[in-house]
Every structure is written in C-alpha cells, then in structure tokens.
Amino acid sequence: MNVVLDARYAEILQRLALGVEPRDALRNARVLHPLQVALENGPPGARLERHASALFALRWQAGQTASLDYRLDDPTRRYVPRRLRVPVLTAADFAADPTRTPLFASRPGLFPGAAYDLSPTATGLRGRVLRADQPLRWARITVTRTAGTAVLARAHGDDRGDFVLLLPASVRSGELVETMSLRVHVFGPAVAPEPADAGVSADPLWDLPVEPVPLPPAPDEVTPGLALPPGYVELLAQNVDFPLGRMRSTPAFLIP
C-alpha cells in the first residue's frame, strides 16, 4: 500500500531511522574531524552512512529493533570515545501509524582527548587517574568550587586513564588572581569490570559503558555527556590549584 503516492504508481520510500550529529561538547559545534561511527546491533547489513556534511544516517529497514547501540571513536585521540543506546521506531510503530516520521536525531557530545586542539592561553588540567596502580579507564571528572556543588566543568577520561579538563571563561570572571583553587571530583565504576573472555578484551572499547538515552520528551542529559554512566560512583575528590591562562599537569589521581 502506498503511503504518499496514488496506488497506480510504484512507490519506494527511504525512511531515516537514526541521524547522528557528533558535537564538540565544549565548543557546542559540529565535529568536522573524521570519526569512526558504527552500529553495534540492528538488522543485518544496517550501517551508519557518513555524509560530506559530517553527519551520519541510518536508513530504516524491516527488522528494525526498538533500540540501537552505536559507538563513536577517534583514533587520533582528539576526542574521547562514547557508546550510546538510542530508541528508534519499529515495524509495529509504523503499523499503528504509517505516516509517522521515524526520525530520531542524536547529537552526542564528545569531550577533549589527549590530542585536542587547545588555545595557548587555555586554563585547565591534564590529568591521569589510577586505581590500584592501573589506569582507570573511562573515568568521568567534574569540577566545583571548594565550597559548592554546582558543576563548573566536565571531562571524560580515556582508556589510558588520561583526561583533558578545560575551564570556561565564566569560571575565571571576577577578581584578578594568579591561581584558582577548585575541587576535582573523579567518578568511575564501583568495581573495575573484567572481560568475559579474551575475544571481548580484544575490542579496545570493550568496557566503555553503553549509555541508555531516554525517550523524548523526557529530559536528556545522557546524549550531551552530562549524566554519569550506569553504575558510576564518586571515587575521589580533592582540591587543585589552577594557574590562570595555563594548562596544569598534576601527579596522577590515585584511587586505592
């Protein structure tokens, strides 16, 4: 049965199941740098197609599952990888309403990696997190005032335990000082994950948490990278002095 055209015409509709627009979480701009964006599940043969505009698209097809897992990776380490689980429409949804638009736009925020392009006058911290003398993979970091709880800045850690945290200009406004003392909070899984078998650990992102995105119109702090992944808890908090206009490198944050 045709949906748009008269029945005397042969109709082929290409529906969009998922559109992905990677965003630089700090600059609030589309990431034009080449990324590896791939599905981890879905119908056989399904793939995210990259367009010249640096957008990725998945065409809807029969057998579409109610949710899709996809990953974003940057081999050059400008951005820290992420894995998301997003809801999409299924054949049952179309049967209930054939005219329904199955578009789900996902705009994941990507945070600076070790090779991120930095301004020479940026204020921030290059850090590393170790747990039991091993890199804490995929840590999450936030910064607050020493006597406050409002989050001033965020960072995502990579597979080596490294992170790059940049302070926005709004944090530095006010009285002119050479350094600012702020509190750095480190989050991670309560228990370090273990690979189920050797084949799993061969995937460099095997333990990168899959972050489930809520269905619209529920508020979404997952996609922009603001919410903590499932199972993450605060592991450490300590004060750090930030010299204004410079990137500081501190000794590793040590977690027993």
Looking at residue 105, what is its pLDDT?
Answer: 86
Judged against a pLDDT cut of 90, whether residue 43 lies above it is answered with no
Q: Nearest to residue 27, comparing CAs of 141, 109, 82, 108?
A: 109
Question: Tokens 């050479």 label which residue?
Answer: 178
Fold agreement (1-110+205-229, 124-190+231-255):
yes
Q: What is the DSSP string of 192-255?
A: ----SSHHHHTSTTTTSPEEEPPPTTS---TTTT-SPPTTEEEEEEEEEEEETTSEEE-PPEEE
Looking at residue 193, what is its pLDDT?
Answer: 87
Please write the tens of the pLDDT for every residue from 198-218.
Answer: 666 789 999 999 999 998 788
Q: Which CATH number fits domain 1-110+205-229: 3.40.1050, 1.10.3470, 3.40.50, 2.60.40?
A: 2.60.40
Evaluate the CA torsion angle 169, 80, 16, 227 in order and state its sign. negative
Judged against a pLDDT cut of 60, whether residue 101 lies above it is answered with no
Cis peptide before 204 (omega within 30 of 0): no
Q: How confident is the prediction for the chain on average, in pLDDT?
A: 89
> What are 227's strand-pairing partners?
none
Three-state DSSP class for residue 172: helix
Q: Nearest to residue 36, comparing CAs of 28, 52, 44, 48?
A: 48
Work out the percent of the chain whose per-residue pLDDT is above 90.
Answer: 63
Domain assignments of the chain as residue spans, ordered by start: 1-110+205-229, 124-190+231-255
Which CATH superfamily is 124-190+231-255 part of?
Answer: Immunoglobulins (2.60.40.10)
Least confident of 48-52, 67-71, 108-112, 214-218: 214-218
Assign 95 a pLDDT band (cuts: 50, 70, 90). Answer: low
The kind and range of the H/E element at 82 are strand 82-87
Looking at residue 59, what is its pLDDT?
Answer: 82
Looking at residue 215, what is its pLDDT?
Answer: 82
Judged against a pLDDT cut of 80, whether residue 104 lies above it is answered with no
Average pLDDT (189-196) is: 87
Looking at residue 5, what is its pLDDT?
Answer: 72
Looking at residue 196, what is its pLDDT?
Answer: 74
Judged against a pLDDT cut of 70, whether residue 78 lies above it is answered with yes
Judged against a pLDDT cut of 80, whether residue 81 lies above it is answered with yes
